Structure 1
């Protein structure tokens, strides 16, 4: 029976990409937001209000139970894992972009600033991988070895029908809370350029249009579980360091208690290999596939290597400011976005400078503060802190977010809906649209930036942040 399902998936009859790619995952949100912006539309239809938004005043066990039930309804079953067709997922990403030809393309790691960069260039962004969430019915947030065993079985089903994937399993109670004990997070990374992407590059790019690969260069301790399947405990987006996931870590005990676990059971697998690229990195074979295609097609290929999310966020914000001013606009109004709370079209429509925080961790907010402190002052600063829905010692408090807004000379605004119930509630992506729609219009929008000009500006402005553009 399993063989029949794989054959159906290979023929394009597997699960739809909309069902496979995790709801709320960064790649999914970015493709949806960029596709809409390239059509001249905002993100008003993105995201439903999460279940915990109605229970932010409830005890932690109640909120955890609600979140787990909600996640279970969207997670893949073990049988469905065998029906995943990565080729169909790639086609689903491609199909979200409007028809026509483009002056370039971005590919690679997910990053909110890449969405703003893509819209400024008038080009699409295609991810080098996608996130999935699968059921773990007898799971426990404090048993990473059991998570590895369960994930290995799921990865085996996935890889049997998708040998062109590498599956990275991430067990991170700091970023996922109780969900890490009820579901398994799997990041599928292409080990080559998918056929749908090849067709898109060949048919939808203008003659001579360049190709740009964005690479998240962060590393993390990785356990190579099997060929094509690797496992990591924790992740860079948690705001913690690898040492914080050691059994003796005080931070880990805090995280596990808030997620309903017990630090006494925490026994991660031994890491015997040097740290590898983290879950949002780009597989070397994917990179090689893009390079080979560009060489055969006679296209220029460029790389943007990102050491930390803040490096690209700062460089892109500086680029937007110069771009807006060159078009006769002030470039003095800033919006600080966070996580899923972004809307590239409304940012462009209002003539705003966007700075994107990967999440609500103290580390991300610290870096935003440092960038603001070293920048020419902004007349207004609007802040959209995305509540992560979990508690963690690594999270920034509301006073720190208020300090970010305090950099505005005349307007200082922290979104109240996002702050209500922070950090344990949730808000949909469309909340960013609702807030940004209140900004005054600043039309017409500037003419798109040329790819070569944008890369030169990122190279000059990003060097001080460690950004490598080549």
Structure 2
């Protein structure tokens, strides 16, 4: 992978998921979410450090991708968009996806052999010595960076996200700014025009999840907390779990005291800013593409839909899928998963809501011959994080061969070497069993039919072109 331009974090969902899908379309596994051979080689060594040193190594490693406030004013959306689009092979495609980041969508696009372009990416800005638990200071101290990012491009919205529960280690050294395109970047536009012939389908995946925010301006929002283990009530009102969490990390606080929210906005990482739809609709009309929009509120709703859709695809191709691969945030490899003949089930994080959804799937489906479960380590025992031993218990009841994939259970959630081990462990599965034949790509027609057949069951609502609705 070529070096990323300054201003986009490779460790985040958008860049990592584009990397995974791009590798698959090039016929390769996705073995490095970091994209840095040097960092990958250091991960096993970092894992040997004591807990405190491991945490600081993780924080400092992430900070190497952050930019300064002066550089924020020069943020180049076009260079970033072009770099993302260049992850994909230059060829014609029958379809493309644009929209919300989602790991289940990556598997669907991989099955179809088509690209996906994210609306949102993370721009980290250096903020050394910050207190993750002081949200008011985060809002105040982030003013110059927010103003710089807004001035860099009038087509973007800036969502300043401050989550001391899930991003605690990173917030020591940086601030998180999620950048959402409100109009399509020229780099994306040119890629689509070059890659989609007339009559192709442009899918827009729209996660409607919203979050309480403090509105700072027409294009700027401050979001305290995020979708994950802690509830919104715990973020804004505290509770026993928050009090215990803060005490565990030596804080004198008993709860957080964030700025009072005064609006709802698209959730910073997963939510879709509807402003982008105008430019997508206009481009589709200009290029004579079918435009299909589909909406869902919870990111993991698409995981259930993808599971059912890909199972039907496998069965139509004469493949019996008895292997389940459970992804975790950016730990996913659609290429290897497909060549194992395995069904994917993507989880947002290693938290209680994700554990409940996995349990729901396993109870519905019964038993699998093999289950591989990845666990993303973000460095803290945050509110709602499920311990590795509980994850092992969840999958053990549904398979005689259920494994944590590339996970050091004793070091989780500080098992940072999992970022380089997960794909090696998944690939070893391929050496234990015959390689599956490559199935024919999932067609646009089959995907549309799946949207209509399975979507409503999981809250995935599709809008087909008017002519097709009438027919």
After TM superposition, the score normalised by the length of structure 1 is 0.90
Residues 309-368 of structure 1 deviation map (CA, whole Å, 9 limit, x = unaligned): 221111111211111111111111111111121111101111111111111011101111
Q: How does 1:170-185 map to 2 (within 5 A)?
A: 170-185=161-176
Query: Which residue pairs with 1:21 in the alignment?
Result: 8
Q: 2:242·2:383 contact (CA, 8 Å) conserved in 1?
A: no
Q: How does 1:366-445 map to 2 (within 5 A)?
A: 366-415=356-405, 417-439=407-429, 440-445=433-438
Distance 1:435 1:61, change over 3 A: closer
Describe the SS at the equivalent of 1:76: coil
CA distance in 1, matches of 2:379, 2:134: 21
Describe the SS at the equivalent of 2:167: helix
Describe the SS at the equivalent of 2:417: coil
Q: 2:238·2:256 contact (CA, 8 Å) conserved in 1?
A: no
Residues 213-232 of structure 1 deviation map (CA, whole Å, 9 limit, x = unaligned): 11122111011112321001
Q: RMSD of aligned C-alpha atoms?
A: 2.2
Deviation at residue 100 of structure 1 after TM alignment: 0.7
Deviation at residue 407 of structure 1 after TM alignment: 4.3
1:73 aligns to 2:64 (yes or no): yes
Q: How does 1:186-197 map to 2 (within 5 A)?
A: 186-197=177-188
Number of residues of Structure 1 aligned to a counterpart in Structure 2: 453
CA distance in 1, matches of 2:48, 2:382: 17
Deviation at residue 131 of structure 1 after TM alignment: 0.5
Query: Which residue pairs with 1:341 in the alignment?
Result: 331
CA distance in 2, matches of 1:265, 1:243: 11
Q: How does 1:36-55 map to 2 (within 5 A)?
A: 36-47=23-34, 48-49=39-40, 54=45
Query: Which residue pairs with 1:124 in the alignment?
Result: 115
Aligned residue among 192, 201, 206 for 1:201: 192
Q: Which runs of 5+ in 2 are unaligned?
A: 464-471
After TM superposition, the score normalised by the length of structure 2 is 0.90
Residues 284-317 of structure 1 deviation map (CA, whole Å, 9 limit, x = unaligned): 2212211121122222111221221221111111
Describe the SS at the equivalent of 1:132: strand
CA distance in 1, matches of 2:462, 2:267: 20
CA distance in 1, matches of 2:255, 2:140: 16
Q: 2:243·2:255 contact (CA, 8 Å) conserved in 1?
A: no
Query: Which residue pairs with 1:450 in the alignment?
Result: 443
Describe the SS at the equivalent of 1:435: helix
Q: Which runs of 5+ in 1 are unaligned?
A: 1-15
CA distance in 1, matches of 2:62, 2:192: 35
Deviation at residue 89 of structure 1 after TM alignment: 0.8
Deviation at residue 86 of structure 1 after TM alignment: 0.9
Distance 1:429 1:123, change over 3 A: farther
CA distance in 2, matches of 1:370, 1:292: 40
1:352 aligns to 2:352 (yes or no): no
